[in-house]
């Protein structure tokens, strides 16, 4: 499995340019009054950068299934952590508590 392909310098340079573009975009966006959209926009762009770094710099694009599975599993556990914690906090004050 060491026959993993490496990206050409050209690809790496393009990825770097893409990352800088996204950085410029997120900083520019932060100067506009986006209100509630501020969070999804900033994190959407951050996720875009993360995908570029993960697929190309960390070479997940050319890795086999098991390594990709580890990366996806880590994200799955993270999403469980987020989902259950926020499931609690976001609804904590919306219902009357029984017996209160």
User: Could you say which residues in the range 13-32 bind another protein, by CB under 8 A?
Assistant: 13, 15-16, 19-20, 23, 26-27, 29-32
Does residue 78 bind another protein (CB under 8 A)?
yes
8 A C-beta contact, residue 15 and residue 56? yes
| Binding string, residues 30-69; x marks residues near another protein by CB under 8 A | xxxxx---xx--xx-xx--xx--xx-xxx----x--xx--
C-alpha 68/C-alpha 51 separation (Å) is: 12
Count of H helices and E strands in the chain?
3, 0
What's the closest the beta carbon of residue 14 comes to another protein, in angstroms?
11
Q: Which two tokens stand for residue 8?
A: 């050409």
What's the closest the beta carbon of residue 67 comes to another protein, in angstroms?
5
Among 65, 89, 96, 99, binds another protein (CB under 8 A): 89
């Amino acid at each position: 499995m060491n026959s993993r392909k490496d990206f050409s310098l050209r690809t790496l340079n393009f990825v770097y340019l893409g990352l800088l573009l996204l950085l410029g975009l997120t900083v520019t966006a932060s100067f506009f009054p986006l209100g509630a959209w501020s969070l999804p926009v900033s994190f959407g762009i951050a996720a875009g950068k993360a995908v570029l770094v993960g697929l190309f710099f960390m070479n997940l694009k050319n890795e086999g299934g098991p390594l990709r599975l580890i990366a996806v599993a880590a994200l799955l556990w993270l999403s469980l952590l987020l989902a259950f914690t926020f499931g609690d906090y976001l609804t904590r004050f919306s219902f009357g508590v029984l017996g209160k």
